[in-house]
Amino acid sequence: MARLEALPGGDSAKAKEAANQAVELFKEDNSKLSQAIMLRGRLSDDAEKRLGDLNKAIELDPENVEAWRARASHYLARGELKEAIDDLNRLLEDDEENQAIRLTVAEALINMEQFDEALKQIDTAIEQQPTATAYILKAQTLALQEKVDEGIEALDEALKLDARDASALSMRARLYYSQDRLALAAEDVRRWLQVIPDNPDAILLRSLISAAQD
């Protein structure tokens, strides 16, 4: 009942009440108690109580993957990146090919300006399963290191996988523009506008390119 009421459109008060009842009912079963406390923590509006419940859930059942995920999300939301990375790496120990988790680790490392470590995670994700998302994140990381040519190469790979990826087209257009490669930038903007017509960012960049071309 707590899980159902926690869904969009549910009653959060009823969800919390049901979670509290579950905690009382499952005191003799650590696995179920861990799930109940984890859910109670996720429903809490108090950050400290939430973290306390998530810590307790993991203590009761270290195999509770959902609790590890929830605590990592809590840390990410509060900008506690090192703690989030520790929890995400714990999840990767059991699920090494989970690209979503690995790329989340990479994003946290980028926010900590640990670009080389982030690239290692991204390259591992690409080796396991090449996706446009991974190549785009690699391009972002390289651009932050001012390795524009390598960033463009990563976006080339992203667009081989999905020629209509607006994020890849927009980023490559901006990188081309930064290098004064205006014809290539204009072509990417044209393709970008085919995917998302009347996109204001694309129109703005098109105007800047036109100005640079006189």
Per-residue pLDDT tens over the stretch 141-159: 999 999 999 999 999 999 9
Tell which residue, 75, 84, 86, has the closest CA to residue 50.
Answer: 75
The C-alpha atoms of residue 24 and residue 103 are separated, in whole angstroms, by 37
Q: What is the pLDDT of residue 104?
A: 93
CB atoms within 10 A of CB 8: 4
CA atoms of 166 and 210, how far apart (whole Å): 20
What is the spatial distance between Cα 26 and Cα 47, in angstroms, rounded to a whole number? Answer: 24
Residue-wise pLDDT for 160-192, tens only, equals: 999 999 999 999 999 999 999 999 999 999 999
Task: Determine the residue type at 12.
Answer: S
The answer to whether 107 touches 115, Cβ cutoff 8 Å, is no
Given a cut of 90, whether residue 23 has pLDDT beyond it is: yes
Determine the pLDDT at residue 6: 86
Q: State the chain's mean pLDDT as an integer.
A: 94
pLDDT at 94: 86
Give the whole-angstrom CA distance, residue 139 versus residue 11. 42
Provide the 10 A C-beta neighbour count for residue 166.
17
Q: Calculate mean pLDDT across residues 112-119.
A: 95
Q: Which pLDDT score, from 0 to 100, does residue 4 have?
A: 92
Secondary structure class of 22 (helix, strand, coil):
helix
Rounded Cα gap, residues 147 and 42, in angstroms: 40
What mean pLDDT do residues 111-131 have? 95
CA distance 66 to 48: 19
* Rg from Cα positions in the chain: 22
Helix-strand-coil percent breakdown of the chain, rounded to 5? 80, 0, 20
